[in-house]
């Protein structure tokens, strides 16, 4: 199994969002960055598939700033064999530009699987995986929560509203991983030490400007000050009255 996993360095979800002076981006001072949680499922799945096959390679690819080398090292510490950083100071606001750079890097090797997380928890774009699949003309299943592979035949399950879709696809394929696919491992100390010696190639890239232009990053509208209606079951009557007469939702 030769597997590529595309990963992203994202701010930890606990991050306090402070908007930078340009009014268009996150002020990164003091922000802790992590491997995107959905990408952990993708890395884990790649490692399990390689381990089950007994042979193969797991290579991780990331588009991002120099600091994304740390993110790649996290994946290497989990067990991936090598990493490639497509280095740019600015991740393009247009995900199609990001997809073009990743597709150009992945093209030319014969991957059995190319895995992504279902979405990145910073920009919620939910599309770089399927965009890359289209650019490489590979079949794609998104938001995979269960996966079975037999030779070059795959069956994936994905959650939809009110049910589960069972999807047939052939390998090679691009898949995006949802929660539930597996339980990602924590890098062991041995893995962390080994990761320092694994190959990590850095290639500078120049993203195009694309067709999505950030106008502003703004705080969400404040929810109007809520009220504590009261304590205990005795407050329920008043709660119901407020929901009917004030909020008009009953």
Partner 1 sequence: MSGNVLAVLEERDGKLRKVSFEVVTAARRLGAKIDAVVCDASNREGAAAALADRAKTGYRAVVFAGTATGKDLAPRVAARLGVPVAADLTDLVAEGGGGGLVVTRPVYAGKALLKVKVTAQPAVLSLRPNVFTPDADAAAVTPERLAVKPGGRVTVREIKAAPAGMLDVAEAQVIISGGRGLKEPANFRVLEELAHAFGGRAAVGASRAVVDAGWRAHSDQVGQTGKTVSPSLYIAVGISGAIQHLAGMRTSKVIVAINKDKDAPIFKVADYGVVGDLFEIVPKLTEEIRKLHG
Site for partner 1 in 88-127 (CB under 8 A): 93-97, 99, 121-127
Name which of 189 and 247 has its Cβ closer to partner 1. Answer: 247
CB burial of residue 84 (10 Å; 0-12, 13-18, 19+): buried
Phi, psi of 4, rounded to the nearest 5 degrees? -105, 140
Q: Which is nearer to partner 1, 194 or 242 (CB)?
A: 242
Touching partner 1, residues 208-227 (CB under 8 A): 210-220, 223-224, 226-227
Q: Which of the residues 126 through 155 are near partner 1 (CB under 8 A)?
A: 126-127, 129-131, 133-135, 139-143, 145, 155
Q: Which is nearer to partner 1, 87 or 126 (CB)?
A: 126
- Among positions 22, 51, 168, 201, the unique one binding partner 1 when judged by CB under 8 A: 168
Residues 6+ apart with CB under 8 A from 234: none
Rule CB under 8 A: is residue 21 a binding residue for partner 1? no
* Identified binder of partner 1 from the candidate list 65, 87, 167, 185, rule CB under 8 A: 167
Q: Is 187 helix (H, G, I), strand (E, B) or coil?
A: coil
For position 15 contacting partner 1 by CB under 8 A, the verdict is yes
Dihedral of alpha carbons 66, 72, 73, 74, sign: positive
Backbone angles phi, psi at 228, to 5 degrees: -80, 115
Least CB distance from residue 92 to partner 1, whole Å?
Answer: 9
- Give the CA dihedral 93, 96, 100, 101, nearest 10 degrees: 20
């Amino acid at each position: 199994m030769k597997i590529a996993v595309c990963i992203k360095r994202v701010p930890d979800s606990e991050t306090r969002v402070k908007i930078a002076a340009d009014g268009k981006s996150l002020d990164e001072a003091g922000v802790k960055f992590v491997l995107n949680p959905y990408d952990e499922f993708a890395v884990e799945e790649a490692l399990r598939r390689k381990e089950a096959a007994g042979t193969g390679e797991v290579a991780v690819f990331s588009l991002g700033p120099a600091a994304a080398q740390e993110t790649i090292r996290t994946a290497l510490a989990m067990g991936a064999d090598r990493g490639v950083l497509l280095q740019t100071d600015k991740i393009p606001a247009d995900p199609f530009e990001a997809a073009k750079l990743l597709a150009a890097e992945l093209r030319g090797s014969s991957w059995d699987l190319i895995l992504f997380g279902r979405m990145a928890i910073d920009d919620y774009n939910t599309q770089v995986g399927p965009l890359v699949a289209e650019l490489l003309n590979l079949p794609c299943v998104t938001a995979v929560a269960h996966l079975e592979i037999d030779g070059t035949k795959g069956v994936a399950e994905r959650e939809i509203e009110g049910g589960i879709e069972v999807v047939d696809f052939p390998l090679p394929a691009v898949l995006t991983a949802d929660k539930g696919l597996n339980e990602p491992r924590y890098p062991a100390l041995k893995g962390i030490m080994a990761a320092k010696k694994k190959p990590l190639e850095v290639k500078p890239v120049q993203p195009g400007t694309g067709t999505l232009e950030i106008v502003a990053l703004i705080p969400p509208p404040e929810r109007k000050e809520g009220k504590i209606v009261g304590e205990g079951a005795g407050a329920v009557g008043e709660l119901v009255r407020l929901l009917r007469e004030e909020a008009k939702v009953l």
